Amino acid sequence: MAYLPAADFETRMSQLAANAPTLCTKAAFPNATVSEPGIGPTTYSFLKIANGAGAARPTLLIVAGMHAREWAQPDATLVFAEKLISVYQAGSDFTVPSYTDAAGNTHGPLTVPAATIKRIVDTLTMIFVPLGNPDGRAFSQAAPANKDWRKNRAPRAVAADPSTVGVDINRNFDIAWDFDVYYSAAFVASGLLSASKNPTRDNFIGTAAGGPASQPEVKNLVWLLDNNPITYCIDLHAYSELVMYPWGIEENGSDPAQTFRDPAFNGTRDGHLSNAYSEYFPDVAPARLLRTHETIAQSMRDAIRTVTGRRYTVGPIATTVYPATGSLSDYAFSRQFTIAGSPPFHSFALEFGDSTDNFQPDPISPHGYARIEREVHAVLLRFLQAALPPVAVAAGGGGSGPCAFTLAVIDILAGSEWLSTLRLARAAMLARVSTRGFAVTIDRAYRAASRALAPTLARRRWARLAIAYGIVAPAATLLGAAKKARRS
């Protein structure tokens, strides 16, 4: 494996769109990059993947590569888009292959059934931006000395000083952008705030004259949010093994009066936990937005653990790391509070890999890029599944009748995998002469029990959870372990 040169992303996206014209369109962003001489300007593109169209479709935004040196996530995202279309066209499951770690332990595979993949592509509209900072990546790839380049290649902020090239585009969005206004002076001086007004720094937010959203790469993402009914956004980065959600500007709170929109709180944010100020994150019914974020983030963490065995940390950004301003994940999330009539918005930011992976995991070692790719794919699968509208929980029967297990796991992201494991085991028992009679007997008893339980499961979430986590998940785990043991 070799990392894709920046320019090759356009070629690969063109090929994908050409190979699946009814499912995938490639479109150019309205703003070309504006860069220091030597690289660019670059007109670059995004992909829109969907079978069908319509404003009512849940619309998702997947972004990678905003930081130039983070090479693995763009490649993995592009490969994901290609694979998603491939398995959809083939009517196949999406399988993240198993991985054997350095200690010899095998993890995964993780499989999302073909029926779910079909539902994803038929129901959702997915916008992929595999490379959010093409000129930055091109520069970082130009020489090993540039490997740590993070910013875009915005022309130097100080004309005579070449060290002032570039803006951190993930600090340039219009959310608490001018951090001196929002935070205490002591916190700004502490070095803990991950944003800077010094143009030589890696996390330079952009010039005062330019203001927030000055960079074309940022304008392009805002344009997507302005022109598509996006309600889910995920931003993929490296590194630190983190699965996070807003807020990044301050710890989350439940007081609607404490909000970035109220200038009365200017200068009071200090990045420390359990102080007087915290940023409002709604958690009221029916959206239960905070709880939903927690659930989805946990499912992503669990999926990572399934495919590679690694334990990522889950939490709100500002509780996990110290605050930063001007990020995509916060900005996208904030729009529901600043644009009247906006629906609830779901936003996630991930940091893949650990310090040994670093920003450019080894492309050759199976424990380098190949491991990161599995984790990215597992997360994106969970992200897409999370956006699927809930399936109506039908109490009645008809045809073959209700399936208690299917009803039980209906709103659990890993449920489709558990069911897949149970179905495979059932099929194996039915196929074997020695176990067929037993399997048929169990089947009859199960169907009778399902018919009896269905009305309760339709009405009572506690009943569904009890069966899901008390029976379905353990059974799937045991069957999965037995299958692995037989293989080895």
Query: Least distance (Å) from another protein to the CB of residue 152?
Result: 13
List the beta bridge partners of residue 106: 100
- d(CA 364, CA 376) in angstroms, rounded, equals 18
Query: Least distance (Å) from another protein to the CB of residue 100?
Result: 20
Q: Which C-beta is closer to another protein: that of 201 or that of 451?
A: 201
Instruction: Kindly compute the dihedral angle of the four CA atoms of residues 359, 361, 362, 364, in this order, to the nearest 10 degrees.
Output: -140
User: 130: closest CA among 29, 47, 57?
Assistant: 47
Q: Which strand (E) or helix (H) includes residue 347?
A: strand 346-352
User: 260: closest CA among 171, 174, 348?
Assistant: 174
Query: Least distance (Å) from another protein to the CB of residue 142?
Result: 6
Whole-Å CA distances, 441 to 150, 324, 418 = 62, 59, 22
Interface positions with another protein (CB under 8 A): 1-3, 5, 36-39, 71, 139, 141-148, 156, 162, 165, 189-192, 194, 239-240, 272-273, 319-322, 324, 351, 354-356, 358-365, 368
Query: Least distance (Å) from another protein to the CB of residue 170?
Result: 11
Query: Least distance (Å) from another protein to the CB of residue 79?
Result: 15
User: 78: closest CA among 134, 30, 139?
Assistant: 134
Q: Which C-beta is closer to another protein: that of 70 or that of 417?
A: 70
Amino acid present at 428: A
Query: Least distance (Å) from another protein to the CB of residue 173?
Result: 16
Q: Which C-beta is closer to another protein: that of 91 or that of 155?
A: 155
Collapse the DSSP code of 46 into the 3-class scheme (helix H, G, I; strand E, B; otherwise coil) and give the result: strand
Residues 336-339: contacts with CB within 8 Å, 24+ apart?
337/259, 337/261, 338/261
Q: Which C-beta is closer to another protein: that of 92 or that of 184?
A: 184
Q: At what angle do helices 216-227 and 328-338 cross, to 10 degrees?
A: 40
Query: Least distance (Å) from another protein to the CB of residue 97?
Result: 21
What tokens were used for 68? 């130039």
Omega before residue 247 within 30° of 0, cis: yes
